[in-house]
Homo-oligomer: A and B are copies of this chain.
Amino acid sequence: MTDIATRVYNHTWKIDPIVRSVLDTDFYKLLMAQTIFRRYRDVRVTFGILNRSTSVKLGSMIDIGELKEQLDHIRTLALSRGESTFLRGNMFYGKRQMFSPDFIQWLEEFRFPQYHLEKRGDQYELLFEGPWIETTMWEVPALAVVMELHSRAVTKGLGKFELQVLYARAMTRVWEKIGRLKKLPGLSIADFGTRRRHGFLWQDWCVQAMIEGLGKHFLGTSNCLIAMRREVEAIGTNAHELPMVYSALAQDDRELAAAPYKVLADWQEDYDGNLRIMLPDTYGTKAFLERSPDWVTGWTGARIDSGDPIAGGELVLDWWRRRGADASKKLLIFSDGLDVESIERIHAHFKGKTRIGYGWGTLLTNDFRGFVPDDGLDPFSIVCKVIAVDGKPAVKLSDNPAKASGPREEIARYRRVFDVPEQVSMPVAV
């Protein structure tokens, strides 16, 4: 029996919206937004999309009208009553009322602000200018829209069975990866794949496959909407934008040198336990650790998000030990371009030395490599980064100079202030 009502209802959609909920974003955005809301809501921050993979000519693949429709649709979204209830009533990281009533009230009233979109050659310039608390909300949905429009562009010409087999292959690949992960003793892994996912429905499938395949070894997903619908934990802590904005706000070199630790000081006022995970690589992990105040040693763990993961993890473990902390009780979270091979390698190396967790992103939710001609669905490296803060440029150094951002002279200044020597560049796939 055909459900006529559903078909007619579907016909009334002018577009097939990619992002359909304010909660279709990463959980750490909400955690960071609350910290921003309390302290910096009026700082003006510009975010911009940067496609590092210039060979992927998004400007000619994606129709500007369709991109506008999707972004405009996001601007119509508002937190629903049920979503608000979920945020108010749910337990996050073992804690009830993680979000204060005034922040949730703000989120209920929040609407996505204006965007600036322009075609520049064969790429798009997509910028978000305004109060930090508003522009920060664009990062994840904007990336997800561009990624899914790219997927749709590539898959557009495929026949019904080619499509079915495309997803059959992708499902088989994810399931085989899960099969390999099952063999890792004491695994703790989460989905971090919202921003560069193949598509929303596909991320949702991957999460459900992880639930069935890994059971309690699957910690949850960074995607709040999927966490709510699939009744798993929402996972995440904080990102580079915090030290980048704090640093850009510094009035002089002394304040700049202190900025990354001010981020941690503010954060630990708001959150504790497994949310006190530092992200030490914004301006070079080694110098960040050496120059840190003693109280930073008390944090629960660190997220290793650039450079060689084993070298980076060892650096932090060694630092804990030298500072007299029990490294075996700490937590290292790996999240940089992970796939099963690297997870296995990291696991073999660190197992038993400390607690470890994995934030598996793009190669969980967007591994269609080799499935269409000309590698058309291979993942590519696209980010949405802080560009300017109250008119001043924002800078990131990273442990991999291929991931650095900011004007050249400012990068030089940050290198000097943060005592970062020459770094070795590594290829960035995703």
User: Which residues of chain B are near A160, meaning CB under 8 Å?
Assistant: 212
Contact flags (1/0) for A157-177 with B, using CB distance below 8 Å?
001111011011101100100
In this assembly, does A13 line the interface, its C-beta being within 8 Å of a C-beta of chain B?
A: no
Q: Known contacts A1-B6, A1-B9, A5-B1: does B161 contact A165 (CB below 8 Å)?
A: no
Q: How far is the CA of A5 from the CA of B208 in the complex (A)?
A: 27
**CB-CB nearest in chain B for A161:** B212
A212, B164: Cα distance in complex, Å: 12
**Chain B nearest Cβ from A281, distance in angstroms:** 35
Closest to A208 in B: B161
A194-219 to B contact mask, C-beta < 8 Å, 1/0: 00000000000000110011000000
Q: How far in angstroms is the closest Cβ of chain B from A379? A: 20
Beta-carbon nearest neighbor of A210 in chain B: B161
Least Cβ distance of A14 to chain B in Å? 19
B contact residues around A6 at 8 Å (CB): 1, 3
| Complex Cα–Cα for A168 and B209 (A) | 13
Could you tell me the distance between the alpha carbons of A9 and B2 in the complex, rounded to whole angstroms? 13
Alpha-carbon gap, A169 to B164, bound state (A): 11
Within the complex, the shortest CB–CB distance from A11 to chain B, in Å, comes to 13
> A62-91: which have CB < 8 Å to B?
none
**Nearest CB of B to A338, in Å:** 21
Known contacts A168-B172, A172-B168; A161 and B213 CB within 8 A of each other: yes
Contact B164 A171 (CB under 8 A): yes
CA distance A282 to B119 in the complex (A): 72
CB neighbours of A161 from chain B (8 A): 175, 208-209, 212-213
- Which residues of B are found within 8 Å of A9, using beta-carbon distances? 1
Of all chain B residues, the one with the shortest Cβ separation from A3 is: B3
In angstroms, how far is the closest chain B Cβ from the Cβ of A211?
8
Chain B residues whose CB sits within 8 angstroms of the CB of A164 once the complex forms: 171
* Complex-state Cα separation, A79 to B302, whole angstroms: 70
A45 to chain B, nearest CB (A): 41
**Docked CA distance A161–B176 (Å):** 12
Chain B residues whose CB sits within 8 angstroms of the CB of A3 once the complex forms: 1, 3, 6
Kindly list chain B residues whose C-beta atoms are within 8 Å of the C-beta of A5: 1
Q: Give complex CA distance A81, B160 in Å.
A: 31
The docked-state distance in angstroms from the alpha carbon of A159 to that of B3 is 28
> Which of A5, A171, A208, A212 is most buried by chain B, counting CB atoms within 10 A of its CB?
A171
Question: What's the least CB distance linking A365 to chain B, in Å?
Answer: 15
Alpha-carbon distance between A213 and B159 when the two chains are bound, in angstroms: 9
Judging by beta carbons under 8 Å apart, are A159 and B212 in contact?
Answer: yes
Q: Chain B's nearest CB lies how many Å from the CB of A246? A: 43
Interchain residue pairs with CB less than 8 A apart (18): A1-B5, A1-B6, A3-B3, A3-B6, A160-B212, A161-B175, A161-B208, A161-B209, A161-B212, A161-B213, A162-B212, A164-B171, A167-B168, A168-B168, A168-B171, A168-B172, A168-B175, A172-B172
Pick the 6 closest A-B CB pairs, nearest first: A168-B168, A168-B171, A165-B175, A3-B3, A161-B212, A168-B172
